[in-house]
Amino acid sequence: GTPARTSSHQVRLTIDGHAVSVPAGTSVMHAAAEAGIDIPRLCATEQLEAFGSCRLCVVEIAGRRGFPASCTTLVEDGMTVNTESEALFRLRRGIMELYISDHPLDCLTCSANGNCELQDMAGRVGLREVRYGDGANHLGEVPDASNPYFAYDPSKCIVCSRCVRACADIQGTFALTSTARGFESRIAAAGGVDFLASECVSCGACVAACPTAALMEKSVIANGQPQRRVTTTCAYCGVGCSLNAE
Ligand code: FES
């Protein structure tokens, strides 16, 4: 009979002309990485399960309509993927333009300047002008600074949900949620309380996962330096030791 499909089944496909062979179940984004191709992304990270919300990782797949997200599309035998074309460049610039239209243009004074994935991606896709919006949405709202270690500034938030997923997937806590829709959308502590009163254990996983300055260590905001180095977070308990370690 036919052997059962297991994760050891290798799938062969072509990405930007490179022949790639990866285990079944691999995303197109990860397969591309195997070929040394780094597809632009905002909501995907190596640690978190793909979510497919930012759409920056769009690609073209021969025989398929539209522009699927490479982080949530799984490889298939014989697939031919294209990660670079004028249409894709235009699409990614358009997506970044929409993000930046709803983001304050204060990069030079922002505590994430030089360490911001939104800034990096805007540069990488060649965004030169933003035709809509004033980036003032949520501006003037008081950041939630109730937690002693970090603050949340909704005006800097792109609602990629990396923090929500880091809280759940890495820490196993469900302290965060995304609320509202459209321009009103933002991240909040679950239960309608502030971060300090929430289930948050101050592990720092959300801060490490944030691609912008929305979730920032207070010491970075105050003096540009992290107070403690957070390299990892234990997935098995809620004590949050890593934030308290040097
Ligand atoms: Fe794929 Fe965001 S990285 S949709």
R_g over Cα of the chain: 20
Whole-angstrom Cα distance, residue 197 to residue 239? 16
Which residue type occupies 217?
E
Q: Which atom of ligand 1 is nearest to the CA of 44?
A: 3
Given a contact cutoff of 8 angstroms between Cβ atoms, the answer to whether 136 and 104 are in contact is: yes
Pocket perturbation via mutation, ligand 1, pick of 27, 30, 48, 57 by most ligand atoms within 8 A of CB: 57
Beta pairing partners, 159: none
Judge whether 58 lies within some domain. Answer: no
Alpha helices in the chain (DSSP H): 28-34, 86-101, 117-124, 162-165, 205-209, 218-223, 241-244
Q: How many domains does the chain have?
A: 1
Given a contact cutoff of 8 angstroms between Cβ atoms, the answer to whether 47 and 161 are in contact is: no
Give the torsion through C-alpha atoms of 234, 238, 241, 243, to 10 deg.
Answer: 90
- pLDDT of 8 reads 73
Q: Which atom of ligand 1 is nearest to the CA of 71?
A: 1
Judge whether 207 lies within some domain. Answer: yes
Q: Which atom of ligand 1 is nearest to the CA of 160?
A: 2
**Domain coverage including residue 213:** 139-246
Does this complex have an ipTM over 0.90?
A: yes
Per-residue pLDDT of the chain (246 residues; tens, 9 = 90+): 445 545 579 999 999 999 999 999 999 999 999 999 999 999 999 889 999 999 999 999 999 999 999 999 999 999 999 999 999 999 999 999 999 999 998 889 999 999 999 999 999 999 988 898 777 788 888 899 999 999 999 999 999 999 999 999 998 999 999 999 888 899 999 999 999 999 999 999 999 999 999 999 998 888 765 554 444 444 443 444 443 333
Judge whether 187 lies within some domain. Answer: yes
- pLDDT of 156 reads 94
* 69 C-alpha to ligand 1 centroid (Å): 6
Cβ of 200 below 6 Å from ligand 1: no
- pLDDT of 224 reads 67
Cβ of 54 below 6 Å from ligand 1: yes
Pocket perturbation via mutation, ligand 1, pick of 30, 56, 91, 125 by most ligand atoms within 8 A of CB: 56
Judge whether 18 lies within some domain. Answer: no
15: three-class secondary structure by DSSP: strand
Residue whose CA is at the smallest distance from ligand 1 atom 4: 52
Judge whether 89 lies within some domain. Answer: no
- pLDDT of 235 reads 41
The packing angle between helices 86-101 and 117-124, to 10°, is 140
Cβ of 59 below 6 Å from ligand 1: no
Judge whether 230 lies within some domain. Answer: yes
Question: Which token pair is 236?
Answer: 């098995």
Cβ of 41 below 6 Å from ligand 1: yes
Edge-first strand order for the sheet with 60-61 is 18-23, 10-15, 80-82, 60-61
Pocket perturbation via mutation, ligand 1, pick of 37, 38, 43 by most ligand atoms within 8 A of CB: 43
Judge whether 171 lies within some domain. Answer: yes
- pLDDT of 226 reads 57
Given a contact cutoff of 8 angstroms between Cβ atoms, the answer to whether 100 and 132 are in contact is: no
Judge whether 72 lies within some domain. Answer: no
Whole-angstrom Cα distance, residue 84 to residue 224? 36
CATH code: domain of residue 220 = 3.30.70.20
Cβ of 71 below 6 Å from ligand 1: yes
